[in-house]
A and B are shown apart, each in its own frame.
Chain A
Amino acid sequence: MSEAVFKADSVPVLAQGYRFQWEPAQDCFVLLYPEGMVKLNPAAGEILKRINEKQQTVAELIAELKEAFNGADLGDDVYRFLEEAHGNSWIRAE
């Protein structure tokens, strides 16, 4: 595994050309990009929804998710997802 891209003070943003939206026909959040679409699972959808809504640090993002999901500690999952999403070129770190 290569070195982690995201740290607590990184700000994840959607990569250029990617659009995040809810698709009623698919009943899930999706990422759209040139000539393609990725259907997101609910957890990925919740994280990307927040990344799409406003720019904030990973620490703030985790805190917000914790609050939204009854205090569950999602830190590891969030970091894992961010690295995976970065590997897929969906997001970048600012």
Chain B
Amino acid sequence: MATAGSEQNKAPGSTGGATGMNVRDQIKQPLWLLAELTYSCPLQCPYCSNPMDFAKVKKELTTEEWISVFKQARAMGATQLGFSGGEPMTRPDLVELIREARKLGFYTNLITSGVGLDSAKVAEFKEAGLDHIQVSFQASSEDLNNLIAGTDAFKHKIEMAKAVKANGYPMVLCFVTHRQNIDQIDEILDLCVELEADYVELATTQYYGWAMHNRDQLMPMKEQLVRAEAIAHQYQEDLQGKMKVYYVVPDYYEERPKACMNGWGNIFLTVTPDGTALPCHAARDLPGMTLPNVKDMSIDEIWNGSDDFNKFRGFDWMTEPCRSCDEKEKDFGGCRCQAFMLTGDATNADPVCSKSPHHHLIEEAVAAGIAEAAKPVTEQKPLVFRNPKNSKKISGL
């Protein structure tokens, strides 16, 4: 009984180097459904991964349509359901969706800023069967938190974190870090200890959507990262058995890419507010996507049969240096969206990889961030906040 279980979501798992992944019984079925219920959000975080043109989405899926999505994904074997957005709290039918999802046997995760949440709702969700609430913070201090979130929310978040704990949920706090808050990492972790968090996720901003637009202003310095990592590891050691600290290393400072989504169309299924099904939440912007919608096709057809989900399964789509790389089964060539955004071709190696002929683009982006940080504050580019006005302006809507 040496190994009692295997972790499914942490290890990418080998797909056996299969070619011809379109063969249905070789396709792994989804384990994770991310339900982006809405793009509405009271916050305006400049590192949001939502698409820049989110303001164009007017019609969200109905309650019945969401429940149908849940039923189909559950029947295929998905066990984790994330309610996300935007801010999922802005959906008036959230409690009903939680109840249905829990009844189906999902482990239900509410991923929220805490804005719009109150103690009564926390208790109501508990009664409906919600398993877990993740409250995201922007920073540990009130001023910076509110500046970055573009709203006055900090005190409320603290209260909500306490309410989550009081209602017997495992407490998971998430801090998205970047140049402007990463030096507060010790204060952030002290706050987590004070709130008796069970899990803390320190996630460095990844550059998609709004974060990509604000990359120069968000890019951390190398010294900041070295310091933050050392502090995070110290807390990990000191708090062993009490609070689990996950520190996500920023990929722009790495030599090898992340195994994005644990492989394309391998575990994760995202459904966006308008019903578009995506292999990851940033994939909408890739060229040649057919963007299947849950209103027109079944989840089974989309996952197993659509061009989008089969596009980067297996290894046949790869170009060099990935194609002949002995690490391709470990990282799947990295992130398709990052490869496209930076190199213009989604089949290229993620330029984070030092073997990529485009790796200089990552180094240049880091250098641009450093140059921006070195400017006098008055000359630095302002952060562009994620709100409908900016969305319309930038996307020419």
Contact = CB atoms under 8 A, between A and B. Distances in A.
A25 interface: yes
A43 B3 CA distance: 10
Residue among B10, B80, B172, B241 having the largest count of chain A Cβ atoms under 10 Å: B80
Contacts of B107: 19, 32-34, 37
B9 interface: yes
B247 interface: no
Contact of A34 (B3, B7, B29, B109): B109
Contacts of B4: 40-41, 43-44, 81, 84-85, 88
A21 interface: yes
B177 interface: no
Contact of A43 (B1, B6, B172): B1
B169 A17 contact: yes
Interface in A26-73: 26, 30-41, 43-44
Interface of B is mostly: loop
Contacts of A84: 1, 4
Contacts of A31: 5
Contacts of B29: 25
A2 B351 CA distance: 45
Contacts of A77: 1
A37 B31 contact: yes
A32 B5 contact: no
B77 interface: yes
A80 interface: yes
B99 to A, nearest CB: 16
Contact of B6 (A25, A33, A38): A38
Nearest to B31: A37
12 contacts: A16-B198, A17-B169, A32-B79, A33-B170, A36-B7, A37-B79, A37-B80, A37-B107, A41-B4, A44-B1, A85-B4, A89-B241
Interface of B: 1, 3-10, 29, 31, 76-77, 79-80, 82, 105, 107, 109, 131-132, 134, 168-170, 172, 198-199, 241, 244
Closest 6 CB pairs of A and B: A25-B77, A17-B170, A44-B4, A32-B107, A38-B5, A34-B132
